[in-house]
């Protein structure tokens, strides 16, 4: 309990700065949504080969009718959920979210696998709603950055201690 109390105290003392664009980005990560369907592959190379064969919506539909490979539906989720659950890089999500409905993605990470995703639904966050929620996002981003700073500080502390394993 004492160690956790100390970590909690250290967390709030980590100096961090938060830029306005980071707050807006976090807001959009939680208000932009994607939904559609996907096909999953073991490797990025397999996903790329498949992607090259279904570059158009009509080709996707023909493949879907054949049923091989199987197409999985994907519920509408926030960009943040895609990033946190599947490990899709933020820049790739932003690019995909900007594409029109019916678009087919380049290979995207899907945990330890890869997927090709077809965009069937999207919701676009409205930055006009951001000012009313700014303070909540300021707290959220600040705590996240303080947590990351604390992790770095602890790693540096452990490294500087030159610990050795005693057998």
CA dihedral 85, 77, 144, 87 (to 10 degrees): 30
Encode pLDDT of 147-165 as tens digits: 999 899 888 988 898 888 7
> What is the reported pTM?
0.77
Give the C-alpha separation, 138 to 154, whole Å: 24
Q: Single out the residue of 4, 7, 34 nearest to residue 99, CA to CA.
A: 34
Percent of the chain past pLDDT 70, that is, above it, reads 100
For residue 69, whether the previous peptide bond is cis, meaning omega lies within 30 degrees of 0, is yes
Q: pLDDT tens digits for 39-58?
A: 999 999 999 999 998 877 78
């Amino acid at each position: 309990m004492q160690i956790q109390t100390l970590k909690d105290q250290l967390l709030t003392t980590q100096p961090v700065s938060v830029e306005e664009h980071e707050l807006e980005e976090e807001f959009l990560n939680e208000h932009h949504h994607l939904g559609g369907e996907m096909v999953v592959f073991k490797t990025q190379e397999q996903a790329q080969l498949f992607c090259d064969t279904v570059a158009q919506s009509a080709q996707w539909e023909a493949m879907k009718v054949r049923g091989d490979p199987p197409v999985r539906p994907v519920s509408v989720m926030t960009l943040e959920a895609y990033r946190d659950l599947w490990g899709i890089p933020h820049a790739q999500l932003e690019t995909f979210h900007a594409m029109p409905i019916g678009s087919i993605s380049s290979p995207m990470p899907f945990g330890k696998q890869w997927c090709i995703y077809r965009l069937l639904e999207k919701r676009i966050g409205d930055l006009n709603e951001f000012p009313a929620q700014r303070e909540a996002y300021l707290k959220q981003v600040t705590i996240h950055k303080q947590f990351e700073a604390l992790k770095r500080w602890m790693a540096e502390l452990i490294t500087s201690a030159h610990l050795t394993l005693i057998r």
